[in-house]
Amino acid sequence: MGKRLLLGKNAIITGTARGMGNKMMEVFAENGANIWACARTKNEKLEAQAKELSEKFGVGISVIYFEMTNLDEMRAAVKQIMQTKKPVDILVNNAGITDNTLFQMVTEKNLREQFEVNYFCPFLFTQYIVKLMLRNGKGSIINMASSAGLDGNAGRSVYGASKAAVICATKAIAEELGEKGIRANCIAPGITKTDMIANMSDEVMEETISRTDMKRYGMPLDQANAALFLASDLSSYVTGQTIRVDGCM
């Protein structure tokens, strides 16, 4: 095994039950991080995977369940993390939802749900976790944004706007907390092969892929490796940035 970039560090990752968050859990564990793997509901497959990774790489992985939109559950999860008495070095706000609805078809319910899950909840969760990072005098916050938050794609007016809000908040967090030793950055994935794109038609998939310089979709590992870089000391002078991992769309 080569150099373990996160050896001895403690990371919180949301949305670990599947997709990019699940791959981040694997990559972070392989690189020596102890992990609080967050998911919405009881998941025996995730627990078995966490146990397997713990034993394989000699790290601690605790699965924590809470619904992001339930503030009582969120506070209980934070309390559970605090009770371990371990410093929090890394926070990856990965959990989110996507949407492909034309502007004139967007409902108020849809609008509020997208911002609730993609912006308000990770914003509030970060406020709680930053308090723990401040005790340690350092930390790396990684927020999953989207290329849609930078480009403004058709059918993604709400989703893109919620991710643009994440990008803006991340820049402000970086500016406010930089002198406290806390960094904040975004990853902006392009089309990535996860369950979240399962509802995209073949036609839309092909058209989107054709617009990338690399003529393929990304894989969860592509995003996980970007998160590994931002979580590690390799990026110790990187903050307030949004890194596109999109094959150059």
**DSSP string covering 126-171:** HHHHHHHHHHHT-EEEEEE--THHHH--TTBHHHHHHHHHHHHHHH
Give the 3-state secondary structure of residue 88. Answer: coil
Whether the per-residue pLDDT at 45 is higher than 70: the answer is yes
Instruction: Give the span between the Cα atoms of 113 and 174, in whole angstroms.
Output: 26
Residue 201's pLDDT is what? 65
Active site residue ranges: 159
Per-residue model confidence as pLDDT tens digits over 108-140? 999 999 999 999 999 999 999 999 999 999 999
Q: Which stretches of 7-163 are assigned E, i.e. beta strand? A: 10-13, 34-39, 61-65, 90-93, 139-144
Which residues are CB-neighbours of 209 under 8 A, at least 6 positions away?
Answer: 191, 215, 216, 217
Whether the per-residue pLDDT at 1 is higher than 60: the answer is no
Q: Which whole number is the average pLDDT over 142-155?
A: 91
Per-residue model confidence as pLDDT tens digits over 90-113? 999 999 998 888 999 999 999 999
Percent share of the chain, pLDDT over 90 = 81
Q: Which whole number is the average pLDDT over 47-56?
A: 98
Instruction: Give the span between the Cα atoms of 81 and 77, in whole angstroms.
Output: 6
Residue 199's pLDDT is what? 63
Instruction: Find the DSSP H helices in 191-232.
Output: 202-210, 220-231
Whether the per-residue pLDDT at 4 is higher than 90: the answer is yes
Whether the per-residue pLDDT at 26 is higher than 70: the answer is yes
Residue 206's pLDDT is what? 77
Query: Which single residue is written with the structure tokens 């102890």?
Result: 34
Strand partners for 61:
35
Task: Kindly state the tokens that stand for 27.
Answer: 């990559």
Residue 99's pLDDT is what? 85
Mean pLDDT of the chain: 93
Residue 3's pLDDT is what? 80
Per-residue model confidence as pLDDT tens digits over 179-206? 999 999 999 998 887 776 666 667 767 7
* Domain architecture of the chain: domains with CATH: 10-240 (3.40.50.720)
